[in-house]
Chain A
Amino acid sequence: SAVISQKPSRDICQRGTSLTIQCQVDSQVTMMFWYRQQPGQSLTLIATANQGSEATYESGFVIDKFPISRPNLTFSTLTVSNMSPEDSSIYLCSALWSPGSLAGETQYFGPGTRLLVL
């Protein structure tokens, strides 16, 4: 399986500021994803991040608010810009990993970043 780490694990931020979340995978992966999980809710996909191309955003999420970088096959960042209290959530990074062509691909997740915006 892929081991994924995220930094920071949690943060408390002031309204109007920005926070960049880092995601590191212990092996090279083609596709990485960023999700948001609001309190007590399920996961909502923000965007798909492929190395060497622009991130693909889901409906309701825009690049100006959630810029994403994917500089190489093991790393990605998500920035939450101009934050408001409504952005308080857990942000989860995941990577699509396959042990081999017959076993298929599975998303593995990082530990998440708990963000509180005051």
Chain B
Amino acid sequence: AQKVTQAQTEISVVEKEDVTLDCVYETRDTTYYLFWYKQPPSGELVFLIRRNSFDEQNEISGRYSWNFQKSTSSFNFTITASQVVDSAVYFCALSEAGGFKTIFGAGTRLFVKA
């Protein structure tokens, strides 16, 4: 069965600090997709990144970076120089090939204080 674990329930940092959100997944599929979504207080889920199981390259987008390691079944998300606007709940998600069914982690609530 597929499972996504986000062990960090809440994280609180001061602005400009770096923060890493952990995500560990379980799947028996050899082809799968991993995602990160951001849910700000407004409630809308914002898509951040999609990673295919056959592509272990890390990715950087501005202050955001993602580290995908199949050996440890992890897909961690780092925010560099955090800002107050980064305060949100972040969800890691896993879907089978075809993306028909997506399993979401419990989410990590990030508080960034000014």
**Considering the complex, which residues of chain A in the window 81-105 have a beta carbon less than 8 Å from any beta carbon of chain B?**
90, 92, 94, 96, 104-105
Chain B residue at minimum C-beta to C-beta distance from A103:
B50
Residue count of chain B within 8 Å CB distance of chain A: 22
Q: With contacts A96-B99, A106-B35, A106-B99 known, is A42 near B104, CB below 8 A?
A: yes
Q: Is the CB of B43 within 8 A of A42?
A: no
- Per the bound structure, the CA–CA distance linking A1 and B48 in Å amounts to 11
List chain A residues, Cβ under 8 A from B106: 41-42
Cβ-closest chain A residue relative to B9: A40
Contacting pair B42 A111 (CB below 8 A): yes
- Whether A48 is near chain B, meaning CB under 8 Å from some CB there, is yes
CB of A20 closer than 8 Å to a CB of B: no
- The verdict on B81 contacting chain A, using a C-beta distance below 8 Å, is no
Roughly how many angstroms separate A108 CA and B99 CA in the complex, as a whole number?
A: 12
* Contact residues, A26-42 vs B (CB, 8 A): 31, 33, 41-42
Residues of B participating in the A interface, judged by any CB pair closer than 8 Å: 33, 35, 37, 42-47, 50, 52, 91, 95, 98-102, 104-107
A-B contact pairs, 5 of them (CB 8 A): A45-B102, A105-B99, A109-B37, A109-B44, A111-B43
